Chain A
């Protein structure tokens, strides 16, 4: 029986530990329950929770439509402006909500962090997953709108989930990064809303990237959301994929994932002491 016993080794921190995916897998039930808790608390408590998730994309789309298709008149090609805006918005709103939610996840779970061991990465991931319902509601609204506008879907739509997954990865990446920074630097709380605002303007949510020159398009593609949103739209509405743009965005996403992991791993050992 002694052979099969698991052995826990306790060593000083310091070196950036490898990302222990096996450990996270072992704690998948905790991830599941934390996610479930967040979902329940978000949507169960009040009707507003659900209503908010539905109303936010609809109202924002309406406002964008009034402003940008009547006054600014962005050329969104064959895609009706409300659909164009909504498809970008549901990704953005999800990223926005989950990054803000995840950024405070350690602070709001301080009692867990100081009293129990588990792979710390679970906290921001659960917080991100906890807002997934926003995305689900958004997709439902989007599908309804697509029927309403009579969009002819092509086989490209099969790639849509890929971009949704990339969108989730963007949310996890930045949620994790800000959650770790927030433990140490409480001014993240003040800086984040501003950063998110800039990020939104820098993402092709209410304007198409076709407005930009070729060179600027690639600069904008450094924002991982640019490729995700553009790719998502191409998949939905059957327009040609801009693989260069998507490639740059995915590369940039990988870069940010690495940064986020390095920052997180270098800080996680001290969470229980600092929080």
Chain B
């Protein structure tokens, strides 16, 4: 069943100060023929999608891509300029933590106030009041005006109220980054529970890790339009790839100076996944294939494809060349060849990598036939499912590589 259905939602804003802000401006505006054309901006343009019951949808995009506008329209804070949408079920929307909190009111008063603002019934708040207080860890300060709270306490209380909102459709804007690490974890767990409890959730975040963790499906907005929509892993990798400006494929025939030597020339270098699809972003657990296509123009040389992996700090991580295939010892005849090197999953750390591609000969003389720096690049991300080398650790992990190694611990 489709819970949310949006058809051609568009929102136009008038830009700049052209909108009259005082009565005088209105009056002068009436007499002065509109000399300047009004600057307009489509914050959202013909956005259509639907979300079915129990689906968790992540919204991704740059600042200004239209995510907030879309949330505001779905939350009925602002109206679309054109298009329509319908949402069935009680909608709870959380665009900010602690909306309506007032410094002069006590924690207790703010819980009721904020609950009412979020659309909770008095009885509901009463019912979950103890839970809210326990979750927020501020029992002792319940009857103190929140102006005396530390900012951490304030955010904890605010999030706790929000976390106990119990709608059928939940719309959440980036609100998870509150409090200390422990509280953040608690919030994430709570959010995941919400997603798993069968409620329909729309979630906006800049943090790809939390999007992949909380959502099954994602939509990318760019300049107010949907540019991709699909399973979260695909969409996120595609987005990250575009974001990082990585170039997962390079076709040399297209370039004015084809890279070639007397005996060999590159046709194509690309990064592929296990299904031979060109891809720029990889789940840390997946193997990464580097495929080189090259044309041999003279017979009889032993040509070895060679790759250098460079990370984003420009650390040369490793060099690999073909030592295993039959061609590592055998001269190649004229023709086109494809060599693929497989970098195993759970080896590289997260981040961006570039590859220098080369074709070399070691026998009889050492010779570099072709060498292209930064031929292709890709990105590695950790969806934080708990089975990578990270385990359940969510913080920053340093290191050039991140292998999963065997651990042995015995009590002696």
Q: Is A2 an interface residue (CB 8 A)?
A: yes
Contact, CB under 8 Å: A186 / B21: yes
Contact, CB under 8 Å: A6 / B89: yes
Number of interface residues of B (CB under 8 A): 49
Q: Is A18 an interface residue (CB 8 A)?
A: no
Q: Is A20 an interface residue (CB 8 A)?
A: no
Contacts of B105 in A (CB 8 A): 37, 40-41
Q: How far is the CB of A50 from chain B (nearest CB, A)?
A: 15
Q: Give the residue of A6, A8, A13, A116 whose beta carbon is less than 8 angstroms from that of B79.
A: A13
Contact, CB under 8 Å: B89 / A116: no
Indicate with 1 or 0, residue by residue over A239-275, a CB within 8 angstroms of chain B CB atoms: 0000000000000000000000000000001001110
Q: Number of A-B pairs whose CB atoms are under 8 Å?
A: 113
Q: Is B338 an interface residue (CB 8 A)?
A: no
Residues of chain A in range 110-150 having any CB-CB distance to chain B below 8 Å:
111-118
Q: Is A78 an interface residue (CB 8 A)?
A: no
Residues of chain A in range 1-16 having any CB-CB distance to chain B below 8 Å:
2, 5-13
Contact, CB under 8 Å: B22 / A12: no
Q: How far is the CB of A123 from chain B (nearest CB, A)?
A: 11
Contacts of B88 in A (CB 8 A): 2, 5-8
Contact, CB under 8 Å: B104 / A40: yes
Contact, CB under 8 Å: A117 / B22: no
Contacts of A2 in B (CB 8 A): 1, 88
Contact, CB under 8 Å: B76 / A10: yes
Contact, CB under 8 Å: B75 / A116: yes
Q: Is A197 an interface residue (CB 8 A)?
A: no
Contact, CB under 8 Å: A44 / B104: yes
Q: How far is the CB of A100 from chain B (nearest CB, A)?
A: 18
Indicate with 1 or 0, residue by residue over B35-73, a CB within 8 angstroms of chain A CB atoms: 000000000000000000000000000000000000011
Contacts of B75 in A (CB 8 A): 116-117
Contact, CB under 8 Å: A10 / B87: yes
Additional 16 contacts, C-beta under 8 A, given A114-B77, A116-B93: A2-B88, A5-B168, A7-B86, A7-B88, A10-B74, A10-B76, A12-B80, A12-B83, A111-B99, A113-B77, A116-B99, A118-B119, A185-B21, A187-B22, A269-B78, A272-B77
Instruction: Give B contacts to A, CB under 8 Å.
Output: 1, 6, 9, 13, 19-24, 26, 72-91, 93, 95-96, 99-100, 102, 104-105, 109, 112-113, 116-119, 121-122, 168
Supply 18 A–B pairs (Cβ within 8 Å), ascending by A.
A5-B90, A6-B88, A7-B86, A8-B88, A8-B91, A9-B84, A12-B80, A37-B105, A37-B113, A41-B102, A41-B105, A112-B100, A116-B118, A117-B77, A118-B119, A184-B21, A185-B23, A272-B78
Top-8 shortest CB links A-B: A117-B76, A13-B79, A10-B85, A33-B116, A272-B78, A187-B22, A8-B87, A115-B99
